[in-house]
Structure 1
Amino acid sequence: MAEDRIRIDKWLWQARFFKTRSLAAGVVTAGHLRVNGDKTAKPGRAVGPGDVLTFRQARDIRVVRILECGTRRGPAAEARLLYDDLAPGDSVPSRADGQE
């Protein structure tokens, strides 16, 4: 059974948004992540089902609702069950600022 709450950096890594947990923590620490509309810079912040995350991934702005915390970093099909993409199809494009 999955936990009710999990660190945001660990969840982003388990849900396969970032290749490493340290990359996920870096995005959070840099202030590029919002939880339920509020900026956070603490990778240890606990999140759980129902929380809405907004963050940059490459050139896109992702908006996802957490459905489950999960227990491991599994295959992509399993990771996809951890969240609901609130911008189906194409993600919300970010402004062109030359960053990859």
Structure 2
Amino acid sequence: MSNAKDVSDSTFSTDVLAADKPVIVDFWAEWCGPCRMLSPILDDIAAEYAEKVDVVKVNVDDNPAIAAKYGITSIPAVYVFKGGEVAATSIGAKPKQVLEQEFAAFLK
């Protein structure tokens, strides 16, 4: 079970777009094997970098409006939002070190 907060269509604006610090958003689905592989990696990042970023999850099957708004066509899709805007993206399951490199600007 993930430690990341579940965010929905109705809470996305408050939890992600209006957040004070960068937010890593994991767009995922229950049936997605790579999504399940990525979840513990994002949990590690959430714990290790809690002072720098928030990590949340959006189930694309349960929240189609947000998935459609951001053009999510492949999952897992990991987006970093900063100041209400998409600041970085990563598509597919990747090792922790790769995600840390891709998102280094937000984890410092």
* TM-score, L = length of structure 1: 0.28
Q: Which has the higher contact order (CA 8 A, sep 6+)?
A: 2
